Amino acid sequence: MSTAKLLLHCPDRPGILAEVTGFITVNKGNIIYLDQYVDHTENIFFMRIEWELATFLVPKEKIEDYFATLYAQKYGMNFRLYFSDVKPRMAIFVSKMSHCIYDILARYTAGEWNVEIPLIISNHPDLQHVGERFGIPFHVFPITKENKAGQEVREMELLKEYRISFIVLARYMQIVSEDMIKAYPDKIINIHHSFLPAFIGAKPYHAAFDRGVKIIGATSHYVTAELDTGPIIEQDVVRITHKDSIPDLINKGKDLEKIVLSRAVQKHIERKVLAYKNKTVIFS
Amino acid sequence: MSTAKLLLHCPDRPGILAEVTGFITVNKGNIIYLDQYVDHTENIFFMRIEWELATFLVPKEKIEDYFATLYAQKYGMNFRLYFSDVKPRMAIFVSKMSHCIYDILARYTAGEWNVEIPLIISNHPDLQHVGERFGIPFHVFPITKENKAGQEVREMELLKEYRISFIVLARYMQIVSEDMIKAYPDKIINIHHSFLPAFIGAKPYHAAFDRGVKIIGATSHYVTAELDTGPIIEQDVVRITHKDSIPDLINKGKDLEKIVLSRAVQKHIERKVLAYKNKTVIFS
Amino acid sequence: MSTAKLLLHCPDRPGILAEVTGFITVNKGNIIYLDQYVDHTENIFFMRIEWELATFLVPKEKIEDYFATLYAQKYGMNFRLYFSDVKPRMAIFVSKMSHCIYDILARYTAGEWNVEIPLIISNHPDLQHVGERFGIPFHVFPITKENKAGQEVREMELLKEYRISFIVLARYMQIVSEDMIKAYPDKIINIHHSFLPAFIGAKPYHAAFDRGVKIIGATSHYVTAELDTGPIIEQDVVRITHKDSIPDLINKGKDLEKIVLSRAVQKHIERKVLAYKNKTVIFS
Amino acid sequence: MSTAKLLLHCPDRPGILAEVTGFITVNKGNIIYLDQYVDHTENIFFMRIEWELATFLVPKEKIEDYFATLYAQKYGMNFRLYFSDVKPRMAIFVSKMSHCIYDILARYTAGEWNVEIPLIISNHPDLQHVGERFGIPFHVFPITKENKAGQEVREMELLKEYRISFIVLARYMQIVSEDMIKAYPDKIINIHHSFLPAFIGAKPYHAAFDRGVKIIGATSHYVTAELDTGPIIEQDVVRITHKDSIPDLINKGKDLEKIVLSRAVQKHIERKVLAYKNKTVIFS
């Protein structure tokens, strides 16, 4: 059943909820999901609502315009409208480690996610065989200091050609440049192998080992210009002991990384993440 | 049943385990606990062993000397010997928040811990009533920039007078000076209300809120000269969402803080913590 | 600031949310909290809404009547209305173990909960001293097979006399009779020391040990006529290993029990629990 | 570097640890791992020890005989000896769900496990493509009430032919018959999609939903004759809310299942699991 999904935020005022639900109900839309939240500190109203289109009286292609004119203007809303029958198109960036990409492709192949994955990009050829196993084009762009800018231009051409709507960095061991980040705002999902903001940057498991922490973590976040500081989508942790060596941490961490990244990607695909002021609202 | 507990570490060499267990067994000590661990990176052997004294042939007061002479010298061991019938004496330092001290005193009063708590010290009078409820002397030392050094001298006199063997900072909102830290090395246990090393210093819940993390934590550690960087004994975390305000974080965090602190204190009382190179070995 | 809290459920129909929020907004109530949820399997709409009374045009004492007449009838609603300035009155039932009652009274004394605790009832005198420490009347009703019915009648008289609105069984090691359960429907909160529905009944830690589980748990639930099968409010778990003896499980479990019970009690006090068909909706 | 791994248990007596470590040390074996544990209730000593063979004076093929003669007899030991250069050979049994087998094969292909996987067996053809993607023979044995005994005979012939040392039921939706269980004692690892002993048998997520639990789990265990009651190797849980439908539980549970199963399989491969009296000792 085809549905519309509307995510919005605006200054909180009485009546918004009633008006938005009224718009849908009056026009014979069957609401199947509603989650809202008010940030009382900032006085911002956040909402996600989903309704069935079958009986909805407003034609699909006019909903955005009607909603903008009737409500968004009036309330100063920032909103996005999605349709369940339009699948987002996702590119995976990898380097040499396979645990995250396998986890993603296993879900994809099993049909768990409403997404298309037409493209894998890597700075190394090592995981070419993964693309082949799952029948997904795998493009290698070796990166050096000298060629980085040029290679990213070519990558972005490819992303356009494949009409990619968002990017997943599945342990891609390269810093993405600002141009690409600007082109995909809140649309590049990274997995960092630490419990951010602890252990920003390279070799977080080594740093965790040296500090003697009793728990390690992984963090999935949208990529912003500053390293490892973008809006956090999901985090999780696992307990360790003094007996765990650095290879043990890496091994335990891999399970965290892939699950945390996949949870974040799933939330993104389901249109349940709203980034706002370097944080995220994660709808239920 | 009275027992001896021996904690040691030394450069790893073949035969240590056999010799130490041999010493106890040959002298008719019944080993009721043994945990050992080798750090293969640093090549250090760690061990905790506990045996019943009833049938042990070496007189209690001579064990330390014998062990030092026969084994510690030979292997370059660093060791500590404890007896279960000598209760450690603990001082609690508090300020205004009561959740940690109540948790400690509830366990103490129920007889859960093999410890004496003869003394509470505070920089504020607010929790005087807690001392009264549980019948424990409560001394107030108001601290200002000017009087801090002098007040700490008086506190340390009191600690000596009460023969305090270790100190628990139960949300004591004052930085302890270096003199006191030196007097109680690896014997001052603090609870920091964040998942260290994230959010060192003041107001970690505010910092966690601002960063938009999805999990908050608490960390119990031995106090060293540098703030919030001593050997970590225990950590734990709890999941939060965008709906949690700063007061919600504080409220959820309190449960973490008290449980994490009490677990660390219990491990310390049971002589199961061995601090080494700014980390801890936590015996099972 | 005084607020009204409304919890309701009814068959789901379009427009309920708009009408209820409309009723409050039109009458100048400032909504500070709203959480709703639709069970699409059973087609039931659930809602919790809270608004400030200061500017609300409908007099406090007429709200219930107005709401019943205007909306509850129309939609077939089941609803409860609470006011933040009316504190629920809670009785604690205990036996011999003190960890749960200390945890509750520590929060109560620190002013964390909007509740009155005028009364403790026990079937043993062992924890009389806890009542005294916190200045709360402590009534002992020894229970035998023969006197049980009579003692419960006297307990219920006392509950009435103290105008008790809900009961917390803080490790009360007696089965409460059906008469008392009927008198306090969804108003008796129990803590069971297992991860229900595993290990129903007596000695769950022994059963967990025998089964060799790797995780133990605790469950807080409303008491119903059938033992340990009422609506679950909160659960949590902790990891164990083969090294943990039964006393270790009991010791680790105590922390779970008190935290899980206190979380459940807090949710109940905040009016965030709605029991329905032997399950609970826990509002955010 | 080739190593020997020795797992043993026997009635606890003084000196065992010293003798076993002595045997290895005296014969120039370099011990790289030792973990031991005494069950003081049952008075059983458990031990796992690993040492390098390069310098060991006893020839590899004679170790078992020497150890049996010199120590196992004397102490009434039950022991197993493994060599790191002998890879266990694992068969995967699946039905229609792919999440567990993908997780296993991703680790296998990445070289994370010291194992051979020469064979996949299924009662349905649905996952044939998974075998093909990873280049592993996939044999389909459709099972009906009538043909079950015969098909299992053929499966067991295949297991012998491929010299399979242990079996992983990766969501294999068939009860394995007693003959096969007897042929592979403590060598068939199952994943059950509940927190055992809660929700034994079919459709545990439906049962969890009906009971209204707040946490769901998964359990990996060795298969014994009685359904879902064998020795537990690993368990884990995830929090749910009233908002989670049965499909949500299934979706969240899948992540648990695959991680819990893979952790159990890894422990088994590393020879860190010792099953004893329907429980497991999991060495560190």
State how far the Cα of C172 lies from the Cα of C97, in Å rounded to an integer.
8
Do C241 and B284 lie within an 8 Å CB cutoff? yes
State how far the Cα of B31 lies from the Cα of B281, in Å rounded to an integer.
21
Q: What is the DSSP letter of D45?
A: E
Round to the nearest angstrom and report the end-to-end CA distance of chain D.
20
- Nearest-Cα distance to chain D for A87, in Å, is 20
From the list D105, D255, D270, D125, the residue with the least C-alpha distance to D193 is D255
Query: Taking CA atoms, what residue in A is nearest to C41?
Result: A32
Q: Chain B to chain D, count of Cβ pairs less than 8 Å apart?
A: 35
Do C17 and A14 lie within an 8 Å CB cutoff? no
Is residue A18 predicted with pLDDT exceeding 90?
Answer: no
Do A15 and C31 lie within an 8 Å CB cutoff? no
Do C18 and A14 lie within an 8 Å CB cutoff? no
From the list D5, D54, D56, D59, the residue with the least C-alpha distance to D33 is D5
From the list A193, A186, A201, the residue with the least C-alpha distance to A233 is A186
- Chain A positions touching D243 (Cβ under 8 A) are 284
Residue C140 forms contact with A (CB below 8 Å)? no
- Nearest-Cα distance to chain D for A261, in Å, is 12
From the centroid of its chain, how far is CA B170?
Answer: 12
> Residue B260's pLDDT is what?
98
DSSP secondary structure string, chain A?
--EEEEEEEEE--TTHHHHHHHHHHHTT-EEEEEEEEEETTTTEEEEEEEEESTT-SS-GGGHHHHHIIIIIHHHT-EEEEEETTS--EEEEEE-S--HHHHHHHHHHHTT-SS-EEEEEEESSSTTHHHHHHHT--EEE----TTTHHHHHHHHHHHHHHTT--EEEESS--SPPPHHHHHHSTT-EEEEESS-TTTT-SS-HHHHHHHHT-SEEEEEEEE--SSTT-SPEEEEEEEE--TT--HHHHHHHHHHHHHHHHHHHHHHHHTT-EEEETTEEEE--
- Chain A positions touching D107 (Cβ under 8 A) are 99
- Chain A positions touching B236 (Cβ under 8 A) are 215
Subunits with 3+ C-beta pairs closer than 8 A to C: A, B, D
pLDDT per residue as tens digits for the range A269-283: 999 999 999 999 999
* Residue pLDDT tens, chain C, 284 long: 899 999 999 999 878 888 898 899 899 998 999 999 999 889 999 999 999 999 999 999 999 999 999 999 999 999 999 999 999 999 999 999 999 999 999 999 999 999 999 999 999 999 999 999 999 999 999 999 999 999 999 999 999 999 999 999 999 999 999 999 999 999 999 999 999 999 998 999 999 999 999 999 999 999 999 999 999 999 999 999 999 999 999 999 999 999 999 999 999 999 999 999 999 999 99
Residue of B33, B35, B102, B260 best to disrupt the C interface, most CBs of C under 10 A: B102
Do D18 and B14 lie within an 8 Å CB cutoff? no
State how far the Cα of B58 lies from the Cα of B64, in Å rounded to an integer.
10
> Residue A66's pLDDT is what?
95
Average pLDDT estimate for B24-32: 91
Q: Chain C to chain D, count of Cβ pairs less than 8 Å apart?
A: 74
Of all residues in chain B, the percent with pLDDT exceeding 90 is 93
Structure tokens that stand for C63 in this block: 């709200």
Burial of residue C76, with CB atoms counted within 10 A of its CB: 0-12 exposed, 13-18 middle, 19 or more buried: exposed
Residue of C31, C40, C41, C50 best to disrupt the A interface, most CBs of A under 10 A: C31
Is residue A162 predicted with pLDDT exceeding 90?
Answer: yes
Is residue B18 predicted with pLDDT exceeding 90?
Answer: no
Do A18 and C25 lie within an 8 Å CB cutoff? yes
> Residue C199's pLDDT is what?
96
Average pLDDT estimate for B105-111: 98
> Residue D14's pLDDT is what?
79
- Chain C positions touching B134 (Cβ under 8 A) are 133
State how far the Cα of B192 lies from the Cα of B208, in Å rounded to an integer.
13
Q: Which of B228, B236, B244, B248 is catalytic?
A: B228
From the list A79, C266, A279, C127, the residue with the least C-alpha distance to B210 is A279
> Residue B116's pLDDT is what?
98
- Chain C positions touching D231 (Cβ under 8 A) are 212
State chain A's mean pLDDT as an integer: 96
Hunting for tokens 């030792």 — which residue is that? D34
Do B106 and C99 lie within an 8 Å CB cutoff? yes
Q: Chain A to chain B, count of Cβ pairs less than 8 Å apart?
A: 75
| Beta-bridge partner residues of D49 | D6, D34
- Chain C positions touching D213 (Cβ under 8 A) are 196-197, 232, 235
Peptide bond into D142 cis (omega under 30): no
pLDDT, mean of each 10-residue run, chain D (284 residues): 95 87 90 91 94 95 96 96 97 98 98 97 98 97 95 97 98 95 97 96 95 98 95 98 96 97 98 97 96
Subunits with 3+ C-beta pairs closer than 8 A to B: A, C, D
Domains of chain D and CATH, by start = 3-83 (3.30.70.260), 89-282 (3.40.50.170)
Average pLDDT estimate for A40-47: 93
Type of residue numbered B149: A
Q: Are D221 and D232 in contact (CB under 8 A)?
A: yes
Query: Taking CA atoms, what residue in B is nearest to D17?
Result: B18
- Contact map slice: B 28-87 vs A, CB within 8 A: 37, 39-41
Is residue B194 predicted with pLDDT exceeding 90?
Answer: yes
> Residue A14's pLDDT is what?
80
- Nearest-Cα distance to chain D for A256, in Å, is 10
Hunting for tokens 């060795």 — which residue is that? D222
Subunits with 3+ C-beta pairs closer than 8 A to D: A, B, C
Contacts of C142 (CB under 8 A, 6+ apart): C123, C124, C151
A123, B252, C278, D243 from A140: Cα distances, Å: 6, 47, 56, 43
Which sequence positions of A are flagged as catalytic? 228
Is residue A122 predicted with pLDDT exceeding 90?
Answer: yes
Subunits with 3+ C-beta pairs closer than 8 A to A: B, C, D
Q: What is the DSSP letter of B221?
A: E
Q: Which of C228, C244, C248, C255 is catalytic?
A: C228
Dihedral sign computed on CA atoms, order D262, D263, D265, D269 = positive
- Chain D positions touching C233 (Cβ under 8 A) are 214
Is the confidence metric ipTM above 0.85 for this complex?
yes
Number of Cβ within 10 Å of residue D163's Cβ equals 10
